[in-house]
Amino acid sequence: MLFENITMSDFKKGLKKTKTLIIPFGTVEEHGSHLPLSTDTMQVYEVVKEAAKRVSVFVAPPIHYGVLTSTRNHAGSIGVSANTLRMLTRDIIKSAYHKGLRNFILISGHAGNIHMSALREVGEELIDEIDDVKIAVISEYDMIRKESDKFVETKDDGHAGEIETSRLLYLAPHLVKGRAKEEYPKLPKPFLVRDKVKYWKGGVWGNPVKATREKGKKLFLFSVDRVVEIVKKIEKIK
């Protein structure tokens, strides 16, 4: 049940079937010269919408903005602070809780460390504050990473590379503008740098040239199956 499509009456009826809400998180973030800025959002939202066809669950509209670090200087990347993400997530969950929802699956198409830490921090705080709330925090990309190792050819594929390009070729091929060349960031770890573009000009981590629609479909369907499993598990946990 997608919040954007249901009525007040539908919501009341839906609560008799499930008290679980999936909240998808994405970004407005560069994904090389070949993928759209909404790549993270599209991937995760399409997955949870498909999962909602297979199991009774509420799905919130995606949060389109996230915490950006290594990509924040690139053209088109527009992010929010970790504090903003924490406060927004907290407010959404508390409001939904007061409307009768009890189980919350926070699933992010963006796997940035600070971004994911902000979501986990909110989850940890709320399970201490509210006795009967259940919260799962998931990086959708990390969830499929092991599965991708079975057929993805690029060993160190991370951002706008073989995996994400394959997924967009399946989900929205009309938005894929050719292929950017293989690239990997050369950030001088462990040092923090202001001008990240200097060390990562193309904004690609991996090899988009090896992407195929068939690989994207496999990853999409695998992710959908995992989300369905998580929905079923969270409703059984006591």
List pLDDT tens digits, range 89-114.
Answer: 999 999 999 999 999 999 999 999 99
Tokens of 32: 């090389």
Q: What is the DSSP letter of 25?
A: E
Q: Does 230 reside within a domain?
A: yes
Percent of the chain residues past pLDDT 90, beyond the cut: 93
pLDDT band, very low/low/confident/very high, at 49 (cuts 50, 70, 90)? very high
Q: What is the DSSP letter of 138?
A: E
List pLDDT tens digits, range 134-189.
Answer: 999 999 999 988 889 899 999 989 999 999 999 999 999 999 999 999 999 998 98
Cα separation, 71 vs 111, whole angstroms = 12
Q: Does 160 reside within a domain?
A: yes
Tokens of 27: 């970004």
Using the structure block, give the residue that is written with the tokens 């050369």. 186
Domain with 161 in it: what CATH number?
3.40.50.10310
Phi, psi (deg, nearest 5) at residue 198: -55, -35
Closest CA to 176 of 167, 186, 185: 167
Is the previous residue joined to 36 through a cis bond, with omega within 30 degrees of 0? no
Q: Is 219 buried (19+), middle (13-18) or exposed (0-12) by CB count in 10 A?
A: buried
Q: Does 3 reside within a domain?
A: no
List pLDDT tens digits, range 199-209.
Answer: 999 999 999 99
Q: How far is CA 26 from the centre of its chain?
A: 5
Q: Domain of 199? A: 8-236
Cα separation, 198 vs 101, whole angstroms = 46
The whole-number pLDDT of residue 228 equals 98
The whole-number pLDDT of residue 189 equals 87
Closest CA to 63 of 13, 1, 18, 21: 21
The whole-number pLDDT of residue 146 equals 85
The whole-number pLDDT of residue 162 equals 97
The whole-number pLDDT of residue 226 equals 97
Give bridge partners of residue 159 from the DSSP assignment. 205
Q: Considering its fold, how many domains does the chain have in total?
A: 1
Q: Over 80: is that where the pLDDT of 79 sits?
A: yes
Q: Does 1 reside within a domain?
A: no
Q: Does 216 reside within a domain?
A: yes
Q: Over 80: is that where the pLDDT of 238 sits?
A: no
Phi, psi (deg, nearest 5) at residue 23: -115, 110
Please name the amino acid found at residue 151. F
Q: Does 145 reside within a domain?
A: yes
Q: Over 80: is that where the pLDDT of 119 sits?
A: yes
Predicted structure pTM score:
0.95
Q: Over 90: is that where the pLDDT of 13 sits?
A: yes
The whole-number pLDDT of residue 55 equals 97
Q: Does 88 reside within a domain?
A: yes
Q: Does 2 reside within a domain?
A: no
Looking at every residue in the chain, the average pLDDT score rounds to: 96
The whole-number pLDDT of residue 7 equals 98
